[in-house]
């Protein structure tokens, strides 16, 4: 896939994922796994300005690990690439608030604001208008 992306000259999002939730040192393992993906992308010829990363909330992570990566996602700044946070309506919000996916707007807004505060440049959301407003407010308070 990396070669196809490089040949097409398009942007890509490198999302963290694994086959299991077995980690030695969770936050460092996520960081190192993403660094490995970046190395593969660069070796294939994907331009640096075409890469973003995603901590992979909801993928190969326990409930506690999902909370941990959201709380500490600023560690990904060290990779040197923009970060996308995709938490919209995710199970971690549902489990925390005991709500079905259709009622997770407020929980998503909190994670969106936290993401902005922790340097995410992109968010993937379902409820665009509410999240756009939350991002604007979070950005105004950030600096």
What are the contacts of 72-76 at 24+ separation with CB within 8 A? 72/27, 72/118, 73/115, 73/118, 73/119, 73/120, 74/118, 74/119, 75/27, 75/30, 75/31, 76/31, 76/34
Categorize the per-residue pLDDT at 122 as very low, low, confident or very high, splitting at 50, 70 and 90: very high
Taking the C-alpha atoms of residue 116 and residue 4, their distance in angstroms, rounded to an integer, is 31
When the pLDDT of each residue in the chain is averaged and rounded to a whole number, the result is 97
Distances (CA, A) of 100 to 29, 107, 129, 142: 30, 11, 20, 31
**Range of 50's domain?**
2-142
Query: Structure tokens of 88?
Result: 């919209």
Domain count, the chain: 1
What is the rounded CA–CA span in Å between residue 79 and residue 34? Answer: 8
Active site positions, annotated: 90, 124
CATH at residue 109 = 3.20.20.20
Q: Tell me what the mean pLDDT of segment 87-115 comes to.
A: 98
Question: Distance between alpha carbon 27 and the CA centroid of its chain, in Å?
Answer: 13
The percentage of residues in the chain with a pLDDT greater than 70, rounded to a whole number, is 100
Closest CA to 119 of 95, 136, 100, 139: 139
Task: State mean pLDDT over 107-115.
Answer: 98
Of all residues in the chain, the percent with pLDDT exceeding 90 is 99
Which residue has tokens 């086959």? 19
pLDDT in the model for residue 143: 73
pLDDT in tens, 125-142: 999 999 999 999 999 998
What confidence tens digit (pLDDT) does each residue in 2-54 have?
999 999 999 999 999 999 999 999 999 999 999 999 999 999 999 999 999 99
């Amino acid at each position: 896939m990396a070669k196809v992306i490089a040949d097409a000259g398009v942007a890509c999002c490198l999302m963290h994922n694994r086959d299991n939730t077995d980690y030695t040192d969770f936050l460092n393992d996520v960081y190192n796994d993403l660094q490995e993906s970046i190395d593969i992308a660069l070796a294939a010829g994907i331009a640096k300005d075409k890469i973003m990363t995603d901590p992979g909330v909801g993928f190969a992570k326990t409930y506690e690990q999902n909370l941990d990566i959201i709380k500490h996602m600023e560690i990904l700044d060290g990779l040197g690439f923009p970060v996308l946070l995709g938490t919209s309506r995710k199970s971690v919000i549902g489990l925390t608030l005991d709500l079905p996916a259709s009622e997770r707007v407020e929980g998503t807004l909190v994670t969106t604001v936290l993401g902005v505060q922790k340097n995410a440049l992109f968010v993937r959301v379902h409820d665009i208008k509410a999240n756009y407003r939350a991002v604007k407010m979070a950005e105004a308070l950030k600096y």
